[in-house]
Amino acid sequence: MSGVSAIVVAVIVMISLNILLILMTIGVRALTAYQRSRRERVVASLEPLVVEYLTTGQVPARLETLSGYEQDVLAEVVVEMLSQVRGASRAALLQLSERVGLVDRYRRMLQSPRKWRRALGAERLGHLGGRAMVGPLSRLMHDRDETVRAVAARGLAHIGGEEAVALLARSLDDPSELTSLRVAENLQRLGQLAVPALVEALGRGDGRGVVLAARILGNLRAYPAREAFARAVTAGSTDVRAQSVLALGKVGDPDDVPLLLRAARDPEWPVRAQVANALGMIGDVSALGTLVEMCSDREWWVRHNATRALARMGPAGRDALLDVIRGQDRYAREQAVAALEAAGFVDEMIAALDDPGPRGDRAREDLLTLIRSGSANYAHSFAGSVASPNEPHSLLEEVISSDLA
Amino acid sequence: MILRDVVYAIDYFVFGYFVAINLVYVTLYLISFLEIADHARREAFRGLTDLYSSGYAPPVSLIVPGYNEEATIASSVRSFLALRYPVHEVVVVNDGSRDGTLDVLRREFDLRPSGQPVWLRLETAPIRGVYVSRTERLIVVDKENGGKADALNAGICAASYPLVCCIDADIILEEDALLRVARPMIESSEVAAVGGIVRVANGCRVERGRVVHISTPPDPLPNFQIVEYLRAFLAGRVGWSRLNALLIISGAFGMFRKEDLIASSGYARDTVGEDMEVVTRIHRTLREKGQRYRIVFVPDPVAWTEVPSTLRVLWRQRDRWHRGLLDTLVRHRKMLFNPRYGVVGLLAMPYFLLFEALGAVVEWVGYVAFVIGLALGVLDLQFAVAFFLAAVGLGALLSVSVVFLEELRLRKYPSWRDLARLTAYGVLENFGYRQLTTFWRVWAIWSFLRRNADWGAMERRGFGS
């Protein structure tokens, strides 16, 4: 074939492919519209049958002779209904899924060589399968595909129960971050039921799963995990220690403050930063001295968290921050002023300036402390930010100028 | 005789080049089709709502550089604050605006001066002040004018959170765009940066900072650009992302790990292609450190932008884009064909040099040689016409197939009219528009060689018009 005829053939092929692609585009749109209307028709025909079953307890004969496609639509209808009902109706819907073959269908899908079929099977069994499906789903937690494992985790969480929880807790160490994240989300959704298995997981060394276990327990404010946290604070890796002290803060028991005060001397700054957070959450005044010391920590995050923790501790914390501002450490002073600002204390001072009583005197004194500490810029800025004529703008200016003079 | 031989040689070179570039395109398309199909199936099981409610998504700082944005900044910031994400803050950087941008922000968001010092770990023009909102998670950095890259660097320094999402002040983000773009980073600590798709908002109806009805505009110019954007994002970037050789994340919408950006020295302030340059530099830095990483593109987090509707503004934009590409290639020439940089050095950089940067020159050399060849009578007219038609047919095929991919997997355009319009413009762009943009790219090379570093003003009609 000559060069020209080859090109001519290429032109014909191009034109044909273009026409084919345009037809395919039209076809895809038409097919999508058809599938949507078909699904709506099937849903409309199946919903009354499910309602009839729930009312009479008799499975309509039509539901026992559905095609594969219709079974998938029925599964969607049942899953939707399961999210709206409780008690006997829920049990009846699960029974219906079993009797019309939905459970068998999705169980078979778990063996499919196609990963998306396995994922679909896992998802549907999580909703429709009940406790008997924990075993098949647990085998899927070793699937080669991370998305399938993540979907199986969600399925197990839907089923719930101690066996499922224990399996999930063991999967926190999954090599895929995606899967372990999904497992963590689902364990958290299971709430207090997950606590014993997570406490056990917390004692399993230093891996990412242990860090996640501590984090979930903290989010669940799991009081029974306090002893496990205490052990982890002294024995775990930096991440485990940091998450454990933070979790103790979330649990919020003042009895844990001595342990946290000891952890405040941890050589690793992430742990100290979380100790400061935790002490702020508990809000026990016995931690004030340690928090003030932490305001001068060599790490920015520790200073930042310590000043924020003090700001959360009410008037005692505010006084402690003012002490920090009177101190020699410039970095601590900066953080303390920022924390007072963020907590709204400075706005309160400004608002109280024209108060003729002790409240106004105190506000003047505190603002002067800010200014003497080198925070005059802040005070000037506050003065500029007081926009309303009813606010004590001029008084504030006077305080500033007299002090600077 | 010599001229005749030269014309022959050029013709055969152009033909070979045409075959090579289209083989690369077809390969990228195949990869993209498979990748988007996989993404769409995976999406059905991803559990975006679970991620939103779980509290495991790290907080994000949205960096918004702004220059003379007083007309739109308040509504833009409001829409950014309302995005669906567990914890995020908006950091607006007022880059020395000459209008009332800062006053509008002060008034609308109840700003107060912040005492919090900004740790300047990147080079920026002097910062005049930092403000925080009393009511919203909003930080405003007021600085002297230094350009977009400079403003982004200041915003990154002022950001409180470990993930930063750099966006243009005038884009519209879909409500779950932040969650979707952050997801690859949440699900894998290896992911260093993520780009989302930028779509054309011309023709769409916008209400309260959200696109409420998607449609194509009546004007041809934005429609050509819609097809171009679809091709660039759905075929190009998805393909390169699969190969872990994505060299560009749109400056309008991209997410990074703050520490990686700082380790790579942030955005270069002396380039007009800061978005491509920063991604290339992150590749370079992380590969030199021997770190395992991925830079990915995901096709579903959508940012809407208004594209130029006049040829003059479009020319400026393309001129700037092409100079940015050339500048990045020159700066990082060390990576070219260098096995140390893996697939980036051996595949992506050579592709961008040979096909994206120089492709326009080869195409125009082909046109000129075609005319000279005809004049000298050394060209087989039949062959030349057939070749031209084949080139146009293949160009149309690439555009039409990306419209097909859009319809197959993403289905953003609801009406038949839009579908027909996009398909038609996918074919029509090969007759005139493509040659025009190619000429602009050749012009940009000339402009680059003359060391023109002009940014080029971008005029927008605004979403309300």
* DSSP letter, residue B47: -
Cβ contact (<8 Å) for A334 and B115? Answer: yes
Alpha-carbon span B122 to B264, nearest angstrom: 10
CB proximity A11 to B under 8 Å: yes
Per cent of chain A over pLDDT 70 is 91
CB proximity B46 to A under 8 Å: yes
The Cα-based distances of A300 to A290, B49, B112, B159 in angstroms read 16, 34, 23, 15
Q: Which two tokens stand for residue B316?
A: 């400026």
* Chain mean pLDDT for chain A: 88
Alpha-carbon span B251 to B274, nearest angstrom: 8
Amino acid identity of A60?
Answer: P
CA distance B456 to chain A (A): 37
CA distance A223 to chain B (A): 20
On the question of pLDDT at A373 being above 80, the answer is no
Count of A–B CB contacts within 8 Å?
113
Q: What is the pLDDT of residues A2-61, one digit of tens each?
A: 656 777 787 888 889 999 999 999 999 999 999 999 999 999 999 999 999 999 999 999
Q: Which two tokens stand for residue A18?
A: 């273009």
Cβ contact (<8 Å) for A25 and B117? Answer: no
* DSSP letter, residue B455: -
Closest CA to A206 of A237, A180, A231: A237
* DSSP letter, residue A387: -
CB proximity B54 to A under 8 Å: yes
CB proximity B5 to A under 8 Å: no
The mean per-residue pLDDT over the stretch A255-262 comes to 96
Amino acid identity of A133?
Answer: M
Q: What's the pLDDT score for residue A14?
A: 85
Q: What's the pLDDT score for residue B464?
A: 47
Q: What is the pLDDT of residues A358-367, one digit of tens each?
A: 888 888 888 8
Read off the pLDDT band of A311 (50, 70, 90). Answer: very high
Q: Which residues of chain B have pLDDT under 50?
A: 464-465
Instruction: Give the residue with greater pLDDT, A360 vs A110.
Output: A110
* DSSP letter, residue A285: G
Residues 6 or more apart in contact with residue B357 via CB below 8 angstroms = B322, B325, B326, B329, B445
Closest CA to B362 of B3, B27, B129, B22: B22
Q: How many CB atoms lie within 10 A of CB A65?
A: 10
Alpha-carbon span A135 to A68, nearest angstrom: 24
Following DSSP, what letter does each residue of B111-167 receive, concatenated?
EEE--PPP---S--SPEEEEEEESSSSEEEEEE----HHHHHHHHHHH--SSEEEEE
CA distance A259 to chain B (A): 27
Please answer whether residues B172 and B179 qualify as being in contact, where contact means their C-beta atoms are separated by less than 8 angstroms.
Answer: no
Closest CA to A28 of B408, B293, B435, B251: B408
Q: What's the pLDDT score for residue A387?
A: 45
Interface of A with B in 288-317 (CB under 8 A): 300
Q: Which residues in chain B have Cβ-Cβ distances shorter than 8 Å to A341?
A: 112, 114-115
Please answer whether residues A402 and A385 qualify as being in contact, where contact means their C-beta atoms are separated by less than 8 angstroms.
Answer: no
CA distance B401 to chain A (A): 6
> In terms of DSSP bridges, do strands B163-167 and B210-213 run parallel, antiparallel, or are they unpaired?
unpaired
- The residue to which tokens 């026409």 are assigned: A19
Cβ contact (<8 Å) for B47 and A182? Answer: yes
Alpha-carbon span A93 to B50, nearest angstrom: 24
Q: What's the pLDDT score for residue B333?
A: 96
Q: Which residues in chain B have Cβ-Cβ distances shorter than 8 Å to A11?
A: 386, 389-390, 393
Closest CA to B410 of A109, A32, A211: A32
CA angle B290, B260, B197 (to 5 degrees): 110
CA B449 to chain centroid: 23
CB proximity A182 to B under 8 Å: yes
Q: What's the pLDDT score for residue A383?
A: 52
Phi first, then psi: what are they for A357, rounded to 5°?
A: -90, -165
Q: What's the pLDDT score for residue B11?
A: 79
> From the list B42, B56, B113, which residue is nearest A185 (CB)?
B56
Q: What's the pLDDT score for residue A343?
A: 83
The mean per-residue pLDDT over the stretch A194-205 comes to 91
Please answer whether residues A118 and A112 qualify as being in contact, where contact means their C-beta atoms are separated by less than 8 angstroms.
Answer: yes
The ranges assigned to domains in chain A are: 346-405
Cβ contact (<8 Å) for A184 and B56? Answer: yes
Q: What's the pLDDT score for residue B303?
A: 94
> In terms of DSSP bridges, do strands B60-66 and B205-207 run parallel, antiparallel, or are they unpaired?
unpaired
Residues 6 or more apart in contact with residue A405 via CB below 8 angstroms = none
Q: Which two tokens stand for residue B433?
A: 């528009």
Which site among B114, B116, B140, B381 would you substitute to test the A interface, given the most A Cβ atoms closer than 10 Å to its Cβ? B116
Closest CA to A214 of A230, A234, A231, A198: A198
Amino acid identity of A291?
Answer: L
Interface of A with B in 96-135 (CB under 8 A): 116, 119-120, 123
The Cα-based distances of B426 to A389, B142, B230, B401 in angstroms read 62, 44, 10, 9
CB proximity A369 to B under 8 Å: no
Q: What's the ipTM?
A: 0.84
What is the Cβ-side half-sphere exposure of residue A129, based on CA atoms within 13 angstroms?
Answer: 31
Alpha-carbon span B8 to A92, nearest angstrom: 80
CB proximity A30 to B under 8 Å: no
Alpha-carbon span A55 to A52, nearest angstrom: 5
